[in-house]
Amino acid sequence: MRQLYSLGVGLSGARRYLIRNILLAVALCLSVAALASMSYADPTPGPHASPNAAAPMRFVRVRGDSPACRPDCPEWISAEGKIVTGSSDALARTLKKLDGRRLPIVINSAGGSVRDAMAMGRLIRTKHLAVVVAHTTLAHCPLGAKSCGVAKGVADARGAYCASACSLVLAGGAERYVSPLSFVGVHQMTQVVLQTQVRPLYSVHYLKVAGLKLELSRREVGEERLTSAAKFSASDAVDDEVSDYFRRMGVAEPVMRLTLATPSKGIHWMTKDELKASRLATAWIGGANLFADASQPNGLEAQEIEQPGDDSSEAFATLAAPLSAPIQGRRAMLEMTFAFRHGDRAVSSSYVLLDAVSGAPLELPGSGVFLIVYPQGAEYRANRVAADEPTQIAWPLRSFCPLQDDGRAVLSFVASGAGASPSSSHPEPVIFSPLAAEGGMALFDEACPAASGRAVASAGGVNATRSP
């Protein structure tokens, strides 16, 4: 028996073609019933179901084909279809091929697997990518194509939707672009239980004697598999996990309140005020002719959403460092993300171990990490978490900001059962400076304005730094 968690469209796993397609169709109707009777060309205001809405999510690298930007049109990653088990791995493979380029994720989805949706969101946040709710129309890239290279296409937010578990992916965006003509929907989570019964098939030979049927031999020739699905309300533990995920992503109420209050057979399309208050949207975009200006951030002309009385601006920086020794027999790298929200007293740092070739997440060695900041000598510890979740340390500004003066940080791996002692075995500690990270200077400017304007004392050539 397998248990999958879904926000409405997470049915997967049945191996027979007919059963799989029936489950996909039923799940789509439960998640976004209003989409079922519409085509994408339907002029009726509301979310429009795209032709591949029930197909597993496909990721395609796209270059804009608008006459307004040719020949130098922006690029993006199209994410269309249902989020299924394995979608997060597929996204990781797609991003790996970009060689560090930060392309926005343009998503149009009715939801699906909660686990994969959260893994996608974490990966997107780690990479500091934007998420855009819009539909992509591709040229010369049929649905069944294994690869389209860099396809040409256009993005349109009118009638596009991000419903159910898709909202978890949207929450992972460093910037979250939504149009007043697109739709973001939430509802209660469900727990889908798939049960497969295996029944052997036999070839039996009989002999009839005096009206009696006697079995002479029996030989197993195969098996028959029958899969059934039952849907239940998700447990409180799953609700708590999703609530914590939203909180970590900087998404506030009323998202969870609306999620818990809306039955799974319905959908609540969030209003502009709800998207703004929750920060599930951070910028408004238009409807048609998206990605027409390569000079704009992420290729989009957008209006940033300001929170009244709350400066919620964030700064991010990312840094990757190879490890000295293989992990689980594979070359590995440590990817570090640093984030600061205006008004906070600490920088949120996260650490995730990745396969250096495939980009797939790996488990950290030992029981956790041990961070020492020099020259102050401040120490911080964090226990190991699941492979697809970053290990996080809140880094107080009083020890973070002085790193602008050529300070260094050392991250060691704590040996299992060794308490707080760094592991003496490989891999060796990682020595790094957040100032060298991509976006590091902007991060320090935002988090440490006093230190950025520091005066250099002339006596002895010593830098005099004023820490917060």
Mean pLDDT of the 137-149 span: 80
Whether residue 466 is predicted with pLDDT greater than 60 in this model: the reply is no
Q: Are 246 and 139 in contact (CB under 8 A)?
A: no
**Which of 274, 271, 270, 268 lies closest to 33, judged by CA?**
268
Provide CB contacts within 8 A for 275, sequence distance 6+: 178, 184, 281
Q: Which residue is associated with the tokens 């649905």? A: 143
Say if residue 445 is exposed, middle or buried (CB neighbours under 10 Å; 0-12, 13-18, 19+): middle
DSSP 266-306: S-EEPPHHHHHHHTS--EEE-SSS-S--TTSGGG--EEEPP
**Does residue 320 surpass a pLDDT of 60?**
yes
pLDDT score of 7? 47
Query: Which range among 37-51, 179-193, 376-390 shows the weakest confidence by mean pLDDT?
Result: 37-51
pLDDT of 13: 41
- 1-22 confidence digits (pLDDT tens): 344 444 443 333 433 433 444 3
**What does the DSSP 8-state code read for residue 54?**
T
Highest average pLDDT, of 11-25, 156-170, 216-230, 381-395, comes from 156-170
Helix axes 114-126, 236-248, angle to 10 degrees: 20
- The domain 2-190+232-304 is classified under which CATH number: 3.90.226.10, 3.40.50.720, 3.20.20.30, 3.30.9.10? 3.90.226.10
For residues 261 and 154, the answer to whether their CB atoms sit within 8 Å is no
Residue type, 292: A
255, containing H or E segment: helix 255-261
> Which amino acid, 301?
E
Place of tokens 């009385």: 309
**Alpha-carbon distances of 226 from 1, 13, 197, 204, 336, rounded to whole Å:** 12, 12, 5, 22, 45
Q: What pLDDT is recorded for position 89?
A: 95
Closest listed residue to residue 302, CA positions, set 420, 153, 173 = 173
Average pLDDT of the segment spanning 389-400: 88
CA dihedral 143, 144, 146, 152 (to 10 degrees): -30
Selection from 217, 131, 204, 134 nearest residue 172 by Cα: 131
Residue 449 sits at the vertex; the CA angle it makes with 443 and 451, to the nearest 5 degrees, is 100
Residue 410 has pLDDT above 90, yes or no: yes
Q: Quick one: average pLDDT of 194-216?
A: 82
Give one word for 128, left, alpha or beta, with left for phi > 0 and alpha for psi -120 to 50. left
Q: Is 205 helix (H, G, I), strand (E, B) or coil?
A: strand
Q: Which two tokens mark 67?
A: 């006459």
Stated pTM of the model: 0.59
For residue 191, give the nearest of 7, 384, 381 by alpha carbon. 7
Domain definitions of the chain by residue range: 2-190+232-304, 314-461
Look over the chain and give the mean of its residue pLDDT values, rounded to a whole number: 79
Report CA 408 to chain centroid distance, whole Å. 30
Q: What local confidence, expressed as pLDDT, does residue 422 receive?
A: 47
> Residue 242 belongs to what H/E stretch?
helix 236-248
**Strand partners of residue 2:** 194
DSSP type of residue 444: H
Judge whether residue 349 has pLDDT over 70.
yes
Looking at per-residue confidence, does 119 or 234 come out higher?
Answer: 119
| C-alpha to C-alpha distance for 171 and 120, rounded to whole angstroms | 10
Question: pLDDT band at residue 468, thresholds of 50, 70 and 90?
Answer: very low
Rounded to whole angstroms, the Cα distance separating 132 from 181 reads: 13
Predicted confidence at residue 281, as pLDDT, reads 96
- The C-alpha atoms of residue 422 and residue 409 are separated, in whole angstroms, by 14
d(CA 41, CA 149): 26
Q: Of the ranges 99-108, 202-211, 254-263, 455-464, which one carries the lowest mean pLDDT score?
A: 455-464
**CA 403 to each of CA 372, 459, 465: distance values in angstroms, whole numbers, following the listed order:** 12, 21, 10
The structure tokens 């088990």 sit at 85
Task: For residue 46, give the 3-state DSSP assignment.
Answer: coil
Provide, rounded to the nearest whole percent, the portion of the chain with pLDDT above 70. Answer: 78
Indicate if the pLDDT at residue 181 is higher than 90. yes
% of the chain exceeding 90 in pLDDT: 34
Which residue, 208, 166, 172, is CA-closest to 186?
166
- 30-44, 135-149, 380-394: range with lowest mean pLDDT: 30-44
Given this model, what pLDDT does residue 207 score? 82
For residue 426, the model assigns a pLDDT of 57
Q: What is the pLDDT of residue 129?
A: 93
Write the DSSP symbol of residue 312. -
CATH number of 314-461: 2.60.40
Cα–Cα separations (whole angstroms), residue 61 to 31, 80, 91, 166, 415? 27, 12, 11, 19, 41
Burial of residue 357 (number of CB atoms within 10 Å: 0-12, 13-18, 19+): exposed
Sort 194 into a burial class: Cβ within 10 Å, 0-12 / 13-18 / 19+. Answer: middle
pLDDT of the residue at 34:
37
pLDDT tens, position by position, 22-73 = 333 434 333 433 333 333 334 445 677 666 778 999 999 999 988 888 888 9
Give the lowest-confidence range in 35-39, 180-184, 263-267.
35-39
CA distance 101 to 22: 39
Which helix (H) or strand (E) covers residue 207, if one does? Answer: strand 190-209
- Give pLDDT, residue 313: 58
